[in-house]
Structure 1
Amino acid sequence: MDKVNFKSGDIIYDEFKVDFTKRYSEQKECLLEDLLQVKYAQEYLLDVGWYPEYESEGEFIVQIIKKQNWEEPIYKKSSKDEEELIQNLNNAVEIIESIL
């Protein structure tokens, strides 16, 4: 995700291999629940996944998780395309940075 500045975050997991020039149906093996995780101070985590996994009709989910509380994300947005995904990621980064 070279189009996003994660600021003070550290990328701890990156399996994001989706090619936005191709149809999702042509790259189902890249549509994973675990695509990207960025760790921040104070136990904040920015998480990106594709749901449902391997399904071309799915969507990206961007979440902010605090202290491993996956049941109650601080932020959760979905998107189907690159532009909206980048917007959601940038919004999530700004939210985290404003809290820290």
Structure 2
Amino acid sequence: MTIQRQKTHLKYKKNKEKMLINEIEKLDGTINFDDISQVDQSSEISLIVDELKEDLFQASLPFEQILDIGWYPEFSETGAFKVSLIEHLDWENPIHSEKAKNWTDLKIALENTLKKVRIK
């Protein structure tokens, strides 16, 4: 990767991370952990599968809600991102859950899930 491409990639990655963080903050949420920002989101999934694990991102939201992002099964090329909205720690019955096989679909799944967050 050239220096210019690395700089462009870092700027793009930083903007995407900032967008997610801004959305969480708008919802009065707190990020518990964020390993997904360390993953090269400009790469093909098959090239970074060894970095894709079940626990990639988690944020606490008002009304005992949790936004969770993971890759299932972890470290598997046949896996998928799973974005879940959990309420009252009821992991067996998420409020909303959506799968995505690539970064573009993950963004859509995340947007759809954030729309389900209870704010009142």
TM-score (norm 2): 0.74
Post-superposition offset of 1:86: 1.1
- Bigger CA radius of gyration: 2
**Correspondence for 1:42:** 63
Structure with greater helix share of residues: 2
**Correspondence for 1:2:** 18
SS at structure 2 position matched to 1:65: strand
In the alignment, the residues of structure 2 paired with residue 55 and residue 93 of structure 1 have an alpha-carbon distance, to the nearest angstrom, of: 26
Consecutive unaligned residues in structure 2, runs of 5 or more: 1-16
In the alignment, the residues of structure 2 paired with residue 81 and residue 50 of structure 1 have an alpha-carbon distance, to the nearest angstrom, of: 11
In the alignment, the residues of structure 1 paired with residue 72 and residue 40 of structure 2 have an alpha-carbon distance, to the nearest angstrom, of: 17
For residues 63-92 of structure 1, what are the alpha-carbon distances to aligned partners after superposition, in whole Å with 9 as ceiling and x for unaligned?
000111010001000001212111111221
Q: Is the 8 A contact 2:53 2:72 kept in 1?
A: yes
Structure with greater strand share of residues: 1
Which letter does structure 1 place at the counterpart of 2:106? L
Post-superposition offset of 1:48: 0.2
Equivalent residue in structure 2 for 1:70, among 58, 68, 91: 91
For these two proteins, the number of residue pairs brought into alignment is 99
In the alignment, the residues of structure 1 paired with residue 110 and residue 72 of structure 2 have an alpha-carbon distance, to the nearest angstrom, of: 16
User: Runs ≥4 in structure 1, deviation > 4 angstroms?
Assistant: none
Consecutive unaligned residues in structure 1, runs of 5 or more: none
